[in-house]
Amino acid sequence: MLTVKDFIAKYETYSDEELYVVYINVDNYSEEAAEALSIVMAKQGGHKLLIERLEAKAVIENEKQRIAQEATKLGLGGVDAAFIKNTTNSTILSTDEVNEIIETNAGKAASQVADKKVNADTVFKSLVGGGMASLAGGAFTSLQFIYFGATSALMITGTALICYAVVKLVTKKSYNNTAVLLASFVAFIISCLLGYGSLYIFGYLG
């Protein structure tokens, strides 16, 4: 059984959040744990100061979330990080902290916008990727039919993943892009047709 000294050593490593959890549930702890908690909290200024620190942290976190949400919203609307920095102020966070949050979230938003954008380059690469995916997926599906005589839900899923992976590799964009999604779907259909066709041409070899 842990002694008061053991609990003190343990609680001294706790964060404010962890100490608060112990504090509000102290009735469920042993006498030794409760005594140790009282000692540790007294060293740190008491429970009132603990709550004040937690409230201060909550204010800071809420401010960070506010700026992050604002930067993301504007970034998704096509506004660049430089403009957002000039129009976003905070009386709680330092300028460096604000700028760091803006750069991170505006950057993520810009990446999402670029990922969804369909232009001539995306269409061309989707066509190329779709063709390559059809061949890769078709070869995979053909082997299933030729050597096993049938396929399964797992194998079909594998074919779909192969098609998407190839298109994504070529276009450098994800399924959030309409062209990528369409090319992957068409490649999947062609792959399945090639699989059926190979069984008809070569027959079952398993």
- Average pLDDT per run of 10 along the chain, which is 206 residues long? 90 94 92 92 93 95 96 92 91 94 94 93 96 93 77 84 96 95 96 82 63
| Shared-domain flag, residues 110 and 140 | no
| Shared-domain flag, residues 33 and 71 | no
Instruction: Tell me whether residue 49 is in a domain.
Output: no
Closest CA to 193 of 130, 154, 142: 142
* Per-residue pLDDT tens digits for 114-168: 999 999 999 999 999 999 999 999 999 888 877 776 667 788 899 999 999 999 9
Instruction: Tell me whether residue 110 is in a domain.
Output: yes
Residue 89 Ramachandran class (φ > 0 left, ψ -120 to 50 alpha, else beta): beta
Residue found by looking up tokens 């007294």 in the block: 42
| Shared-domain flag, residues 100 and 156 | no
| C-alpha to C-alpha distance for 72 and 75, rounded to whole angstroms | 5
Its sign, for the CA torsion 186, 189, 193, 198, is positive
Domain region containing 109? 62-116
Residue found by looking up tokens 């993943």 in the block: 161
| Shared-domain flag, residues 101 and 141 | no
Instruction: Tell me whether residue 51 is in a domain.
Output: no
Instruction: Tell me whether residue 37 is in a domain.
Output: yes
Q: Are 88 and 95 in contact (CB under 8 A)?
A: no
| Shared-domain flag, residues 149 and 181 | yes
Instruction: Tell me whether residue 50 is in a domain.
Output: no
| C-alpha to C-alpha distance for 27 and 11, rounded to whole angstroms | 16
Q: What is the pTM of this model?
A: 0.69
Instruction: Tell me whether residue 57 is in a domain.
Output: no
| Shared-domain flag, residues 133 and 175 | yes
| Shared-domain flag, residues 128 and 161 | yes
| Shared-domain flag, residues 34 and 82 | no
| Shared-domain flag, residues 168 and 128 | yes
For the chain, what is the domain count? 3
| Shared-domain flag, residues 137 and 104 | no
